[in-house]
């Protein structure tokens, strides 16, 4: 079943949050990246950016 348009992931907010968190976007877009190779800080930043993308109203 399709999600409501309000429930869709907001990639603009994700990328804006990632930029604010100084997260290396090019590194994330590498298809060979294994998330286990990210440092603890990078993993936390990624989770925060994903949370913002899922819930844009948190910003």
| DSSP assignment string, 1-59 | -PPPGGGS--HHHHHHHHHHTT--HHHHT-TT--GGGS-HHHHHHHHHHHHHHH-GGG-
pLDDT in tens, 24-54: 888 888 888 888 888 999 999 999 998 988 8
The pTM of the whole model exceeds 0.85: no
Taking only the tens place, the pLDDT of each residue in 9-20 is: 899 998 999 999
Amino acid 12: pLDDT: 92
**Cβ contacts of 19 within 8 Å, gap of 6 or more:** 25
Q: What residue ranges do the domains of the chain occupy?
A: 5-58
- Residue 4's pLDDT is 58
Rounded to the nearest integer, the mean pLDDT of the chain is 83
């Amino acid at each position: 079943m399709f999600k409501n348009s309000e429930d869709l992931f907001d990639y603009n907010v994700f990328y804006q949050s990632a930029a604010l968190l100084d997260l290396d976007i090019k590194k994330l877009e590498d298809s060979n990246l294994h998330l286990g190779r990210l440092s603890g800080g990078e993993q936390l930043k990624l989770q925060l950016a994903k949370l913002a993308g899922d819930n844009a109203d948190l910003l």
